[in-house]
Amino acid sequence: MDGAWVYLVTGGCGFIGEKIVELLSEQDYIKEVRVFDSVAKGEVEYLTTATTRVTAVKGDVQDYEALLAAMQGVHVVIHTAALVDYRGTVPFWEMRAVNVGGTENVLRACCALDVPYLVHTSSVAAVGPNTLCEPMFRGNEDTEYSGEVELPYGKTKAMAEKLVLEANGKKLSHGGKLTTCIIRANTVYGEKAAFLQELYWGAKARKGVLNFLEPEDSERNHTYVGNVAWMHVLAARNLQLKPGLLAGQVYYSYDDTPTRKGFLVRHQLLSTADPSVRLGSHIPYWKMWLMIQLHKIIRVILLPFWKPQPFLNLPLLNTIVTTFSYETDKASRHFGYKPLFTWNESRHRTAQWLRAAVGNREPPQLPGKKN
């Protein structure tokens, strides 16, 4: 059947989703990639190649009928669509409706239309840190870690993961069964990473100084968006080739980004784009805690007249300062994953984009984003 596969990527105009679509369009075994997104941009159709057609379909994963229409004739779904919010700007019920309800609709449509393969994009936030801020130091996919997840976004992704794993092996309407796997992204950087623009503008406002919140001994994984996308492409392909091995499995994303110290990664990315950006100092937890409390008081006072958006909240601060790292080669062992882009390539691609992105001199707007 090579050359005739039809893929559908939900959230295919988003940060990770668009890169997945780009790499899928280069695979000669795929006939068509459909992009299903609530903000579907026709530009993705320019990714069409000699062997693979890319088509954009505007629709929301909360709309089951729209999903059914878009998924007609599809063989593989890569489900990246999610409402992402770390700062508490989006109500929990709204995130749950998209991230959990939308996933439920995608799985239901797969079963109704006999779509046998699904790769789900999750997040390390679905695992932790928990509300006790217990660290995980270089764990792996089998590491036991319990407790209530700290971030509301992470709670919704954990719920969605549960649905995806429970759906693995479920009977399809005309025979056969649904085969699913999960990829947990971590802190993903690269072209179109809005948080890098925000960090850059913050540093420039402080005369080029990039300060940081996490303790210097804390660890968190970072992965280039192109390598996260490549892992999705390989996982989807091998769900078909080796379903017995990948079915019901969870994989952490990783590459050769050289350090787990987030402030060093961010500094290297920003200073490659602009050598005037220099690494500053650690901001104490107590100082940020006080600023968050002060912001809450100001927000209550001004609420009748103005509703300032939170720059940070306590769950996010606790997540930032808690070590949550892993060390794994599971994707390599199961489906031959190797990073498609080296650290040097990833860094320079990101820097090239950032230089162009900040050239317009307009600080980015960063509301909760639905892909």
Over residues 83-134, the pLDDT tens digits come to 999 988 899 999 999 999 999 999 999 999 999 999 999 999 999 999 999 9
Task: Look at residues 354, 188, 184, 191 and name the one whose alpha carbon lies nearest to residue 257.
Answer: 188
Helix axes 225-241, 15-24, angle to 10 degrees: 50
Domain limits, the chain:
5-192+223-256+329-343
**200 classed as catalytic:** no
Q: What is the dihedral of CA 6, 230, 244, 336, to 10 degrees?
A: 140
Calculate mean pLDDT across residues 327-344.
97
With a pLDDT cut of 70, the percent of the chain lying above it is: 95
Q: What is the pLDDT of residue 359?
A: 84
Say if residue 366's pLDDT is above 50.
Answer: no
Q: What is the pLDDT of residue 306?
A: 72
CA distance 258 to 32: 36
CA dist 146 → 109, 127, 228 (Å): 31, 8, 25
Reading the block at residue 129, the tokens are 């840190």
CA distance 78 to 81: 9
Calculate mean pLDDT across residues 267-287.
96
Tally of CB atoms within 10 A around 292:
16
Q: What integer best gives the mean pLDDT of the chain?
A: 93
Q: Which residue in 7, 86, 117, 153 is the catalytic one?
A: 153
First to last CA, the chain: 30
- The string over 294-319, giving b where at least 16 C-beta atoms fall within 10 Å of a residue's C-beta and e elsewhere, is ebeeeeeeeeeeeeeeeebbebbbbb
Second-level CATH architecture of 5-192+223-256+329-343: 3-Layer(aba) Sandwich (3.40)
Tally of CB atoms within 10 A around 336:
11
Write phi, then psi, for 292 (nearest 5 degrees): -65, -45
Cis previous bond, 129, omega within 30: yes
Calculate mean pLDDT across residues 314-331.
96
Q: What is the pLDDT of residue 182?
A: 98
Q: Which residues, at least 6 apart from 162, have a Cβ–Cβ distance to it below 8 Å?
A: none
Q: What is the pLDDT of residue 363?
A: 46
Write phi, then psi, for 241 (nearest 5 degrees): -80, -35
Tally of CB atoms within 10 A around 37:
26
Reading the block at residue 12, the tokens are 């295919």
Q: What is the pLDDT of residue 356?
A: 94
CA dist 106 → 154, 163, 201, 206 (Å): 19, 11, 38, 45
pLDDT-derived band of residue 361, with 50, 70 and 90 as boundaries?
Answer: low
Calculate mean pLDDT across residues 285-299.
89
Say if residue 303's pLDDT is above 90.
Answer: no
CA distance 315 to 10: 28
